[in-house]
Amino acid sequence: MAAVTQAPAPPAPAAPRQKPPRKRGRLTPYWLLLPGILWLVVFFALPMIYQASTSVQTGSLEEGYKVTWHFVTYWDALSEYWPQFVRSVLYAASATILCLLLGYPLAYLLAFRAGRWRNLLLVLVIAPFFTSFLIRTLAWKTILADGGPLVGALNALHVLDVTSWLGWTSGDRVLATPLAVVCGLTYNFLPFMILPLYTSLERIDPRLHEAAGDLYAKPVTTFRKVTFPLSMPGVVSGTLLTFIPAAGDYVNADLLGSTDTRMVGNVIQTQFLRILDYPTAAALSFILMAAILAMVTVYIRRSGTEDLV
Does 93 share its domain with 65? no
> Is residue 25 in a domain?
no
Which parts of the chain have pLDDT scores under 50?
A: 1-2, 308-309
Does 66 share its domain with 189? no
CA–CA gap between residue 72 and residue 76 (Å, rounded): 6
The model's pTM? 0.85
pLDDT at residue number 29:
85
The DSSP secondary structure of 203-220, one letter per residue, reads: TS-HHHHHHHHHTT--HH
Does 185 share its domain with 61? no
Comparing CA positions, the residue from 245, 226, 255, 288 lying closest to residue 86 is: 288
Range of the domain at 255: 82-308
Q: Residue 154: what residue type? A: L
Neighbour tally for 299: CB within 10 Å: 14
* Whether 201 contacts 112, CB under 8 Å: yes
Beta strands in the chain (DSSP E): 57-60, 64-67
Does 62 share its domain with 191? no
> Is residue 272 in a domain?
yes
Does 132 share its domain with 193? yes
Out of 15, 44, 70, a domain closes at 70
> Is residue 7 in a domain?
no
Neighbour tally for 161: CB within 10 Å: 14
> Is residue 223 in a domain?
yes
Does 190 share its domain with 297? yes
> Is residue 221 in a domain?
yes
Q: Is the dihedral of CA 163, 104, 308, 225 positive or negative?
A: positive
pLDDT at residue number 199:
93
Does 262 share its domain with 177? yes
Does 177 share its domain with 56? no
Total domain count, the chain:
2
